[in-house]
Amino acid sequence: MTIRNLLALINPSSLALIGASARPETLGAIVLNNVQDGCFNGTVDVVNPHRVECAGVNWSPTVRDLPSTPDLAIVMTPAATVPGIIADLGSIGTRCAVVISAGLTEANGLRQAMLDAARPHGLRIVGPNCLGVIAPHAKLDATFSRTPAKAGRVALISQSGALVTAILDWADRRGIGFSGIVSAGDVADVDIGDLIDLFTADPTTDAILLYIEGVTDAAKFLSAARAATLRKPVIAIKAGRSPAAAKAALSHTGALAGSYDVYLAAFARAGIVAVDTLTGLFDAAEILCARHAIGGDRLTIVTNGGGAGILAVDALASAGATLATLSPATLKTLDATLPAGWSHGNPVDVIGDAAVFSVGVAPADHENRAALAYQPAHQRIFGG
């Protein structure tokens, strides 16, 4: 697998909108408005046989008339025109395109014609039949979603565009941000495994969320997932648990849902956390990302129950760690903050009715890595 020609999905310097329009409420107009409202900081070219007058963008009647080669192309023209447009994009040097257009199927031959047009040029295709792509850190919203995405450190890969819009609405109300969102659509070329690889290598992504209806290349998917979960959490919702839902998934994207139990076993083997709800998706990401790199082997344990503290001490030996010795300065700070009945040692037992607290570490304890602090996890993970 390679992500060489996919990097433009989340960090393009130039963009071509094929089929963008100035006619209100058309798909081309919505995508163009979202790109402009997002304040994309690269160049934007619009390709349409009819002149498009719009401040801040360049108009060309055809792909071959573009003044320069775009890093990323967004194609939203009628299905029959897509193979020819892909061939033209490839011939001028574009190596990544998102095809929003629907109607490119195996039955009508257009899907294969599109792939045949892309292959000689090494042009990678996301879609077709998708919502588009959002890269908040690049200020790019090339979708027809009505809700923008805030910047954060969670990536979302989804085989359903409608689900992406629902998640955007849900996340917007909760102040949750994203490093990138890709609607994979019918997965004619770029598949879930490719996109997992892309976000695994992305330094702005701390966790990867998946909505999966079916996997087209199981070996590639499992290889990508195993590599990803060694570096960051991967959390998935698998659609199609019931026979009726599996049938709906097949009619939706053409993806064979397969046995839910088989998927769960594969997820477990690859280290993917499986959840059943959107709330569970983000809760799992928050919990799994709420960690800090720890140097050294001396730790301070904070607990509101003595028994739990003892169990934690028992676990230290197998983890290759030891209890830190708290300095007089830290003990004094804790005395001023905690209830009188706290343990006055390590483990720090704050007793059961203690409130959440935040305590800075005294300089003398830095070598022991004894850090006692509270910060809402969603502020660290989701950018709120």
pLDDT tens digits along 192-249: 999 999 999 999 999 999 999 989 899 999 999 999 999 999 999 998 775 654 455 4
CB 348 within 8 A of CB 372: yes
Dihedrals phi, psi of 7, to nearest 5 degrees: -60, -30
The pLDDT assigned to 249 comes to 47
Q: Can you tell me the mean pLDDT for 56-60?
A: 95
**Which residue, among 70, 52, 72, 53, has the nearest Cα to 9 in the 3D structure?**
72
**Which residue, among 271, 261, 168, has the nearest Cα to 223 in the 3D structure?**
271
The pLDDT assigned to 356 comes to 53
The pLDDT assigned to 291 comes to 58
Separation of alpha carbons 19 and 342, rounded Å: 67
Instruction: Answer whether residue 252 shows pLDDT above 80.
Output: no
Q: Give the start-to-end residue ranges of the domains of the chain.
A: 7-288, 298-381
Instruction: Tell me the average pLDDT of the chain.
Output: 87
Instruction: Answer whether residue 374 shows pLDDT above 60.
Output: no
Contacts of 182 (CB under 8 A, 6+ apart): 9, 126, 133, 134, 155, 156, 157, 158, 195, 198
Instruction: Answer whether residue 371 shows pLDDT above 50.
Output: no
What is the token pair recorded at 212? 């999966």
Higher pLDDT, 219 or 278: 219
**CB neighbour burial string for 307-324, b if at least 16 within 10 angstroms, e if fewer:** eebeebbeeeeeeebebb
- Determine what percent of the chain is predicted with pLDDT higher than 70: 85
Select the CATH number that applies to the domain covering 7-288 from these four: 3.40.50.261, 3.40.640.10, 3.40.190.100, 3.40.50.2000. 3.40.50.261
Q: Can you tell me the mean pLDDT for 41-52?
A: 96
Residue with tokens 């607990």: 303
Separation of alpha carbons 225 and 211, rounded Å: 14
The pLDDT assigned to 363 comes to 43
The pLDDT assigned to 381 comes to 42
CATH number for the region 298-381 comes to: 3.40.50.261
- pLDDT category at 258 given cuts 50, 70, 90 is low
What is the token pair recorded at 78? 């009628």
Dihedrals phi, psi of 205, to nearest 5 degrees: -110, 125
The pLDDT assigned to 152 comes to 94
